Structures are given as C-alpha cells and as structure tokens.
C-alpha cells in the first residue's frame, strides 16, 4: 500500500535531498513543493520518475544490489593491479617496482596468472559492497533521525563518518574470509588455484578462526578508508555542484550527474588510499605469513615502508576503483528511479523568531 505524503516525508532526513522550493531557478514550477501542513515546509523527493519509496525496504534492497555490482565487479577488474601490489608488499626484493612486478608475474605465470584469485575477490567484495552501501544508507538515516533535523544538518559530516564506519564494521566480517584466501593464493604460488581448493586448504592449515586472523588490521584498513570514501565523496560532490556547476543539480542531465559521481569518487579514492595504506600492508603481511604478528610486520617493513611500500600503485588503483564504484552505484540508483548520491543540501529551517516576524 502506498505511503501517505506525511509518512513519506517522515522517512526523509531533510539535509540529504534538497527541496526544490528552497532553490531559485528557471523552470522550478516543474517540481512543485508538496502542500505544507501546520505551517511546516514539506518537500518532494528529487526523483521525478521514482519507482521506489525512499528509505523503504525496497530502497535498501536496491542500495544493497547497487553495492554488490559496484564493489564486486570493480575489484575483480583490477585484480592484476592488486596482485602486483600484494606481491610488492610481501616480497619487495623480488617485486621492486610496478613495471618489474608485472614483468616477473608475466614471466613466471603467464597472462592467466594476472587474474589469480579473482573468484575470492569477486565474491568477497560483492559481499562487502552489499553491506557497505546498504548499511551506510541505513545508518545515515538512523543517525539523522537520532540527531533531529537541526543537528543532522549542522553535523552532517559526522553523520556520514559514523554511518560509514558502522557499515564497514559489518561489511568486513563478510569480506575477511575471502580476503585471507585471496592474499594466500596471490602471494604463495602453488598454494591453491583459487577459492574452491584454497579455502579448505587454508582451514586445514590454520583452522576456521584463522580466516579471521586479519580482521583487526582489516578494520584498521577499511574503516578509515570507508569513512574517507563516503564523507569526502559527499562533501566533494556538494562542493562541485555548489561552486563548479552553474545550474542546480535538478537541472543537470543524469549522464552529467553520473560524471560528477565518478569525478568525486576518484578524488575521494586518492584520500582513501593514503589513510588506509599502512593497514593494507599489515593485512597482506599477516595473511601471507603463518603465525605472523603486527610486531613482525613492523619490524620487517619498518615504519616508512609500512606507510609507503606500494602506495603509488594503490593510489592509482583505489582512485580508479572508488570513482568507478560511485559511478556504478549511482547508475544503478538512477536505473531504478532513485536520485544520485549527494550534491544538494536543504535550506535551513526557519527559526521561531523568523516565523513570528513573518506572521506579524
């Protein structure tokens, strides 16, 4: 049964999707504001062809499906870069640079070797993407409701950070077993061909709990990464629409909006790579060496190596990856009739003093 207009409004955190009435531009009559009730302003959702109710179960299901498509496919596509990066982190003597790393792999394993570990990559990051994007939308709404309209608007960046961190804690629980097998397959030639033989072999060697040996450093890598990914993306896209685009977002074509999503995602990805790289080195080291500890990793890699080894390649990989993920995610949302993410903030609600003056 369709929701009433009032129920529909109650599902929307006001700062996420801007009211058209708050923006002054030509053609605004094409998006009339919803009738006000009791003197409080009410606003339509910025998706003229919307087929899914915002913040309904169907909305979260759509975001989950979009997350699967965006993360699983993009991580699988950059498997060769990830393979070289992991080997540079584990064996810097043999894999001295990006170009020499590709050369060594091509000589020893052939072209097919560049996609070793693609199955655990696809499945693991699909599971992670489902939880990351689906729960981010859920927690963003949840924390907005707790804060209330005024504080949700004022502290929206903190809401982005808290929502993305909460989502990533759950997402990494889904990713960790696949990541453990992936790193072992990619960095130990002969260990296994892929997930089907690598998973039972890993469990036999280190037990089922060994699959979660890297969960803490994985959180250390992914939580800062995801907080930066979502908060910086939302902020960057908002700034682009505010300062670089001469017309309101609602007047921009969908392809143009998706281009903004990719550009904002790429810039955010650069920041993501930098803040999460030390933990990425730890994850690769711990999942490669049986019985290794964080102290062993720091001793072998050194603090400088922990922060810089493999970083240029990871910046290229994560920048492209994050841009593509936001592009695919928002393209999926557009396909099902939802608005693209971010870029618009609502006008502040009028104060009681302003209301009393207006009515005088």
Give the start-to-end residue ranges of the domains of the chain. Answer: 52-212, 215-342
Helix, strand, coil percent values for the chain (each to nearest 5): 75, 0, 25
Region 200-219 average pLDDT: 92
- Per residue in 30-60, pLDDT tens? 333 344 444 444 333 344 444 788 899 999 9
| Ramachandran angles phi, psi of 342, nearest 5° | 70, -175
d(CA 346, CA 44): 12
Q: Which fold has domain 52-212?
A: Mitochondrial carrier fold (1.50.40)
Cβ atoms of 327 and 262 within 8 Å: the answer is yes
Share of the chain above pLDDT 90, in %: 48
Q: What does the pLDDT read at residue 309?
A: 83
Q: Is the dihedral of CA 244, 246, 252, 253 positive or negative?
A: negative
Confidence category of residue 344, pLDDT binned at 50, 70, 90: low
Residues 126-158 pLDDT 10s: 999 999 999 999 999 999 999 999 999 999 999
């Amino acid at each position: 049964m369709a929701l009433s207009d009032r129920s529909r409004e109650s599902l929307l955190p006001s700062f996420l999707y801007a009211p058209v009435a708050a923006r002054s531009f030509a053609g605004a009559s094409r998006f009339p504001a919803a009738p006000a009730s009791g003197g409080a302003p009410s606003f339509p959702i910025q998706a003229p062809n919307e087929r899914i109710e915002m913040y309904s179960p169907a909305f979260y299901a759509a975001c989950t499906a979009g997350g699967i498509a965006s993360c699983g496919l993009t991580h699988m596509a950059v498997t060769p870069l990830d393979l070289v990066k992991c080997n540079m982190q584990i064996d810097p003597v043999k894999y001295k640079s990006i170009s020499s790393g590709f050369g060594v792999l091509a000589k020893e394993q052939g072209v097919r070797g560049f996609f070793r570990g693609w199955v655990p990559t696809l499945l693991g990051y699909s599971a992670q993407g489902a939880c990351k994007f689906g729960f981010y939308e859920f927690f963003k709404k949840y924390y907005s409701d707790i804060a209330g309209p005024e504080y949700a608007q004022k502290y929206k960046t903190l809401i982005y950070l808290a929502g993305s961190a909460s989502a990533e804690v759950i997402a990494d629980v889904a990713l960790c077993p696949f990541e453990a097998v992936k790193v072992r397959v990619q960095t130990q030639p002969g260990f296994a061909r892929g997930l089907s033989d690598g998973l039972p072999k890993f469990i036999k060697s280190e037990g089922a709990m060994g699959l979660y040996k890297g969960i803490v450093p994985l959180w250390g890598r992914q939580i800062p990464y995801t907080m930066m990914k979502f908060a910086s993306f939302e902020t960057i896209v908002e700034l682009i629409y505010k300062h670089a685009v001469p017309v309101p977002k609602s007047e921009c074509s969908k392809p143009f909006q998706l281009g903004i999503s990719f550009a904002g995602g790429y810039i955010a990805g650069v920041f993501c790579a930098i803040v999460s790289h030390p933990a990425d080195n730890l994850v690769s080291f711990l999942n490669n060496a049986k019985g290794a500890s964080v102290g062993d990793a720091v001793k072998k890699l050194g603090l400088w190596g922990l922060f810089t080894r493999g970083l240029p390649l990871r910046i290229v990989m994560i920048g492209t990856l994050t841009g593509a993920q936001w592009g695919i995610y928002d393209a999926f949302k557009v396909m099902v009739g939802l608005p693209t993410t971010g870029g618009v903030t609502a006008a502040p609600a009028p104060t009681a003093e302003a209301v009393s003056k207006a009515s005088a």
